[in-house]
Copies of this chain bind each other. A is one copy, B any other.
Amino acid sequence: MTASRPLHFVTLLGSLRQGSFNAAIARALPALAPAGVSISALGSVGEFPHYDADLQADGFPAPVQAMAERIRAADGVIIVTPEYNYSVPGALKNAIDWLSRLTPQPFAGKAVAIQSASPGLLGGARAQYHLRQSLVFLDAHVLNKPEVMVGQAAAKIGGDTPELSDATTRGFIATQLEALAALARKLAG
């Protein structure tokens, strides 16, 4: 066991809009991390072209390669995403489609946690289970519990630069980050 080794997690954000609830959650994560865990944001999935095997034949785009490097170097990935049309946003799925083609595949064996927020009651649950199915193929180790599904997000996230103010949600997320750290340490052997 290497419980004392510092860990670094990276966040992968599924939304592109400035005022995104999910972006606000992603920004809150560094302050909610347990001792010994640092968290930083990956680049935007909006910088990737649409996946096209013909494009890939010309070489992987630089933002794809850069994101893959950072995921490989991280001890864990936190995917923070809205739900669109009862599933994963296309732009996020597209990023996964690119990343999955690289060797070594960056998600393989990696500890992953999922968080989602939505204005409705379900908090993005449907997107999470679809994402979990993709992560089976990617051979990631996805944290089971606690699940973080932030429903009625407008009541919990507010301000000009939106901030996650809801204390219960912050506590929930802190617990998940601790669980992810424990999983990452277990996987490291």
- State the A residues within 8 Å of B (CB): 1, 16-18, 45-46, 50-55, 84-97, 100, 121-123, 125-126, 129-130, 132-134, 136-141, 144-145, 147, 149, 151, 186-187, 189
Contact = CB atoms under 8 A, between A and B. Distances in A.
B123 A125 contact: no
A144 B139 contact: yes
A85 B147 CA distance: 14
Contact of A91 (B17, B90, B92, B145): B90
Given A90-B97, A140-B144, 10 more contacts: A84-B97, A85-B137, A87-B134, A89-B94, A91-B97, A93-B93, A126-B129, A129-B133, A132-B133, A137-B144
A123 B123 CA distance: 12
10 contacts: A1-B189, A51-B90, A85-B97, A85-B138, A87-B130, A90-B97, A121-B121, A125-B126, A129-B133, A136-B144
A189 B51 CA distance: 39
A161 B54 CA distance: 15
A84 B94 CA distance: 9
Nearest to A144: B139
Contact of A93 (B54, B90, B126, B141): B90
Given A132-B136, A144-B139, A94 B90 contact: yes
Contacts of A54: 16-18
